[in-house]
Amino acid sequence: MAEKLLEIKDLHAGVEDKEILKGLNLSVNKGEVHVILGPNGSGKSTLMNIIMGHPKYQITSGTMEFEGEDMSGLKTFERARKGLFLSFQTPEEIPGITVENMIRTAKQTITGDKVKLVPFRKELKAQMQELKMKPEYAQRYMNVGFSGGEKKRNEILQLLMLQPKLALLDETDSGLDVDAVQIVSEGVAKFHNADNSCLIITHNTRILEKLKVDKVHVLMNGQIVEEGGAELIEDINSRGFTHILDAQNEAK
Amino acid sequence: MTEKKKTYIEDIERTLYDIKDEDRSVYKAHSGLTEDVVRDISTRKHEPQWMLDFRLKSLEVYNSLELPTWGPSLEELHMDDIVTYVQPDAKMTGSWEEVPEDIKDTFDRLGIPEAEKTSLGGVGAQYDSEVVYHSIQEDMVKQGVIYTDMETAVREHEEIVKEYFMTLVPPKDHKFAALHGAVWSGGSFVYVPAGVHVEMPLQSYFRLNAAGAGQFEHTLIIVEPGASLHFIEGCSAPKHNVTNLHAGCVELFVKDGARLRYSTIENWSRNMMNLNTKRALVEKDGIIEWVSGSFGSHISCLYPCSVLHGENARCEFTGVTFASKGQNLDTGASVIHAAPHTSANINTRTISKAGGMATYRSAVKVTKNAPFAKCSVNCESLMLDNLSRSDTLPVMDIEGDEADIGHEAKIGRISDEAIFYLTSRGIDEEEARAMIVRGFVEPIAKELPLEYALEMNNLVNIELEGTIG
């Protein structure tokens, strides 16, 4: 029996008076790769932010569990320490904090152990090489002056260095050229194994080429309206989202 | 979501600086400023006639000038209540052992002799109005380097002092320069002969212990052609409930091809009016580097000025200002391009919190004689809460041809998205805020002398401790 990692039930949430998620259900098992598809404005990024505990959003009802534990009282940093990771659609620029310092500090707080500099540097250098990042980027300030592609690679670098249990990837492939998508996709594939899971938002199937997708969810108007296997991706790609909405309306 | 409770620490930990010693000065001038007070100071210092004349003339100028009408209000300053001269119960000495116990303890607490042992080429320590300790490494003396207190310099190097003293900051410049000319006391004199490189920094430390007193130290540094020097200055005072005044004056002469780095960390108590005047005259191919940290005082007006007088003269200015509750810190820099191909780089960070007010003020002037001048200004401000204020007031006056002038100003707060980003990596909110603030001042912190960089880091940590998200 597969082990449940993330379980969301009848989640209603939003910002101020505006409800964005309207009774969302989602369940991810350990070792699985899930993809969320949906038109712009359907609430995909909001979902990612809410799973990560962004203080801007309020949950009005429903439950969210990680490894069987209720997450509602947990702050963002506590969720990260339990094994959640969000790769941002637009990663923040943080002047004065180097990539190396940032990742090392994060690793220390997550593992609760001192991270020795020499082996850490060695590992960081190797991972950067895989992602085709120039080694001097370790000493650059977080995302400051990085191109769009470099920022995304920096997100995947953190993913590989921090080894979370659940990776939330919010359009990690958007705005990237073909080569960069390839690199990012290889990075994600390298990260994934039987002990961790990925929840991926994407408009681009190329990032999925190196991964075995277990489940696809279609998010529209704050709800999961359809679920299926990898074949659903092809279907949406060729026919778009409207036919799903039409089918929904007919069913009602 | 539950409402977040926040607790703020409004002030930095100042226990170390706030320990007051018993005031057992041997002599204090009457408060207020009269000709008798000025004559008395001069007599006690056994000065030559020209210096007494200079003081009296400055007094005249002082009485004829009005208070400046721009900048922070100075109405809390009552000159009649300020004691202009306080002589500690100690003679100037070159031996640390001979410094009286309580004064020694104060400087020990501040880590001054420790620093001398490890990383400095010379140290001066001023307590109230007089320098109590001065030392310099033997090999520098052999190379002709002079590092001593100003009183000794007036007596032993009279010709040099007479040639330079208050020529760069003349008493008629402004009311507090005139005041300084009349009652100056203490400070450091440094002379570096042509071609001599002083490898280890020299450091002067100023401590104002007596309540209601003024400190008017004069720093005069001459770096001859091709020579180089790093000079560090630190200032502090314990908190009294009466206003103290600091109106020091710094004059730096950087000759052809010489290089001077002048670092200051000012951590005055929160009742101090810090009205300091600093100026550098830089000749052909010379370089002045200012590193300036302003953390303390109630009100500060501080705009170190670089006069780029010779072709290719250069100025690098790096400054950080941290204003908390009850503080109005008006800081910045000024540059006068007076020769062709002169260049200046001004880089500052200001932080305000708990209702503090931090203003960046600068003036860049390019004269007709300075074609191809290059000046780049980058000032950034960070406000840590909604009570605090920040302002940027740059003035540019460009007359020279082909000038290349750039100005970049940013005022902002810690963004919620940046906090979210860091916390999503497992870093708690408190540490995330501290990291952002440290990151903000990082380009400046790395320019500070090591022990001050650590001190600034501590300030930032203590400032943010207890900001429970």
3-state secondary structure of B114: helix
- Interface probe, candidates B422, B433, B435, B438, chain A, greatest A C-beta count within 10 A: B422
- pLDDT value of position B398: 94
- Residue recorded with tokens 């009205």: B275
Q: What pLDDT, on the 0 to 100 scale, is given for residue B8?
A: 42
Contacts of A59 in chain B (CB under 8 A): 1
Contact A54 B441 (CB under 8 A): no
pLDDT of residue B157: 96
Task: Give the closest-approach CA distance of A78 to chain B in angstroms.
Answer: 6
Q: Which residue has the higher pLDDT, B111 or B432?
A: B432
Taking a C-beta distance cutoff of 8 angstroms, is the pair B364, B394 a contact? Answer: yes
Select from B5, B347, B424, B437 the residue whose CB has the most chain A CBs within 10 Å, as the one to mutate to test that interface. Answer: B424
Dig out the tokens for B127 from the structure.
Answer: 């307590």
Q: Looking at residue B60, what is its pLDDT?
A: 95
Q: A56 — contact with chain B (CB < 8 Å)?
A: yes
DSSP lists the bridge partners of residue B407 as B377
Distance of residue B190 Cα from the nearest chain A Cα, in angstroms: 35
DSSP-derived secondary structure letter, B83: B
Binary contact (A95, B440; C-beta < 8 A): yes
Q: Note the pLDDT tens digit of each residue in B306-326.
A: 999 999 999 999 999 989 889
Task: Return the amino acid letter for B351.
Answer: I
C-alpha–C-alpha distance, residues B251 and A160, integer Å: 55
Cβ contact (<8 Å) for B421 and A75?
Answer: no
| Mutation target vs B (from A93, A97, A103, A110; most B CBs, 10 A cutoff) | A97
Judge whether residue B234 has pLDDT over 90: no
Is A15 an 8 Å CB contact of chain B?
no
List the structure tokens of B438.
Answer: 């440290």
Helix (H, G, I), strand (E, B) or coil at A123: helix
Whether A60 contacts chain B with CB within 8 A: no
CA pair distance B141, A179, nearest whole angstrom? 64
Structure tokens at B35: 């000709």
Phi, psi angle pair for B264, to nearest 5°: -130, 135
A95:B438 CB<8 A: no
A3 to chain B nearest CA, in Å?
24
The answer to whether residue B7 scores a pLDDT higher than 60 is: no
Total residue length of chain A: 252
Question: Nearest residue of A to residue B421 by CA position?
Answer: A92
Find the CB nearest A75 among B422, B423, B431.
B423
For residues B156-183, give the mean pLDDT: 96
Phi, psi (5° rounding) for residue A38?
170, 150
Placement of tokens 């809410």 in the chain:
A50
Identity of the residue in B1, B423, B439 whose CB atom sits nearest the CB atom of A94: B439
Distance from CA of A160 to the nearest CA of B (A): 13
With bands split at pLDDT 50, 70 and 90, how would you rate the model's confidence at B16? Answer: low
CA distance A26 to chain B (A): 21
Q: How far apart are the CA of B5 and the nearest CA of chain A, in angstroms?
A: 14
Single-letter amino acid, residue B396 = M
Q: Is the pLDDT score of B467 beyond 70?
A: no
- Of residues B1, B420, B431, nearest to A76 (C-beta): B420
- The whole-number pLDDT of residue B5 equals 40
Q: How far is CA B65 from the centre of its chain?
A: 24
CB pairs under 8 A between A and B: 83
Q: Which helix (H) or strand (E) holds B138?
A: helix B138-142
Give the containing element (helix H, strand E) for B59: helix B49-64
What does the buried/exposed string (b/e) look like for B4-37 if buried means 16 or more CB atoms within 10 Å of the residue's CB? eeeebeebbebeebeeebeeebeebbebebeeeb
**CA-based nearest distance B201→chain A, Å:** 27
CA B98-B100-B106 angle, to 5 degrees, is 120
What ipTM was predicted for this assembly?
0.96
Whole-number pLDDT of residue B203: 84
Least confident of B64-73, B109-118, B237-246, B275-284: B109-118
A239 touches chain B (CB under 8 A): no
Q: Is A95 on the interface with B (CB under 8 A)?
A: yes
- Helical segments of B165-304, H only: 175-183
DSSP string for residues in B288-328: EEEEEEE---SEEEE--EEEE-STT-EEEEEEEEEE-TT-E
Average pLDDT, chain B: 85
Query: In the beta sheet, which residues pair with residue B349?
Result: B320, B380
Candidate from B420, B425, B439 with C-beta closest to A96: B439
Sign of CA dihedral A111, A117, A118, A120: positive
> Contact B442/A95, CB-based, under 8 Å?
yes
Which tokens sit at A169?
């990837």
Helix axes B175-183, B49-64, angle to 10 degrees: 150
Tell me the residues of B at the A interface, defined by beta carbons under 8 Å apart: 1, 4, 415-418, 420-429, 431-432, 435-436, 438-443, 469
pLDDT of residue B468: 34
Neighbour tally for A132: CB within 10 Å: 15
Mean predicted confidence (pLDDT) in B78-100: 73
pLDDT at B112: 63
Q: The tokens of A74 are what?
A: 């947990």
Asked if residues B252 and B221 have their Cβ atoms less than 8 Å apart, the reply is yes
* Chain A: closest CA distance from residue B439 (Å): 4
Q: Does A141 touch chain B (CB under 8 A)?
A: yes
Q: What is the pLDDT of residue B58?
A: 97
The answer to whether the CB atoms of A110 and B417 lie below 8 A apart is no
Question: Chain A residues with CB inside 8 Å of B431's CB?
Answer: 105, 109
Series of mean pLDDT values for 10-residue runs along chain A (252 residues)? 90 92 96 93 93 95 95 94 96 94 95 92 96 95 94 96 96 85 91 95 82 93 92 85 76 67
Q: How far is CA B41 from the centre of its chain?
A: 24
B259: tokens are 């290089």
pLDDT average, residue stretch B322-331: 92
